Amino acid sequence: FRWSVEGWEYKITNKGVNEVFIEIITCPYQAAMSRNPERHDKIKPICLDMCIPFYETITTDFNTNITLRRDKFQGLGDKTCSFHFSIEDEEKSLKEPFNRRKISIEDKLFYFEKNFFTLDGLWIIETENELDWDTALKVDIIVWQRLYQIIFRRVKKYIKIKENSIKELIELLSFIWSCEGYEYKIVKQEGDEAILHMTMCPYKAAMDRNPERHDKIEAICKDMCIPFYEPAIHDFNPRIKLERNKFLGLGDDVCDYHFKLE
């Protein structure tokens, strides 16, 4: 399911009731690094230190009776990646050949929507655990600034925005926020000025549900959420300025976004 949703190319061969062989033809992560010369030297260590132990761990966590054997690795120079699964438990063996699920748009929405926020949360928590809070916040700001610059460019092309006025910026943000599950109102949109009020932030809502993150809400709202829009908006139109005075994470009833064209 995961590989199909993420765009992997692979072949499955059932070798009997207790064995399955999977051959990865295209790994989208390895393909992305191959397209970027600056990441070529990272392909091998990512394969060795991340991909190989990752699958060993999740296989064991899923079922300790399942054994994974791997002999080929694209990241180490092979043409394919191999996955040979076998199980000793006869009751859990394949009763009939496995057929791949035909992935629907709903499947993709479920997978990416559910895991988008989870990945973001786990990323900053684990960075904080390995380093410290200040470093985690600093790195997270940089990541989100770069991500939003990329998202802005892709969405602008996807919804065919040709201009860079306030009107087009609101159209762009509206698309992004609606996809991510924000709740908001366009309070004012006149000429060179627009005001948006965000009434629900899914990231704050996720932290509200986790008592261990309550003490981080204010810092994330004030120190991270404000600056990570700035580079993307500047790239869109350097004359558009953003002013903010209200923040859900600081106890206000809305987050306000006041845009002006200077």
CATH code of residue 10: 3.30.1360
Query: SS3 helix, strand, coil % of the chain, rounded to 5?
Result: 55, 20, 25
Cα dihedral value 104, 106, 107, 109, nearest 10: 130
CATH number, domain of 112, equals 3.30.1380
Q: Output DSSP code: residue 49.
A: I
Determine the pLDDT at residue 188: 94
The CA–CA distances, whole Å, from 236 to 73, 91, 125, 219 equal 41, 58, 31, 27
Q: Output DSSP code: residue 51.
A: I
Determine the pLDDT at residue 101: 86
Residues 30, 78 within the same domain: yes
Residues 72, 132 within the same domain: no
Q: Which domain holds residue 82?
A: 2-88
Asked whether 19 and 84 are in contact (CB, 8 A), the reply is: yes
Determine the pLDDT at residue 143: 92
Residues 165, 117 within the same domain: yes
Residues 78, 122 within the same domain: no
Query: Would you give the distance in Å from CA 186 to the centre of its chain?
Result: 27
Tell me, what amino acid is at 122?
Answer: L
Determine the pLDDT at residue 89: 67
Residues 76, 166 within the same domain: no
Residues 22, 58 within the same domain: yes
The whole-model pTM stands at 0.83
The SS3 call for residue 253 is: coil
Residue 95 in any domain: the answer is no
Block mean pLDDT (10 aa), the chain, length 262: 94 81 94 93 91 93 92 93 85 64 92 87 91 92 94 96 95 95 94 96 91 89 86 96 94 96 92
Residues 22, 122 within the same domain: no
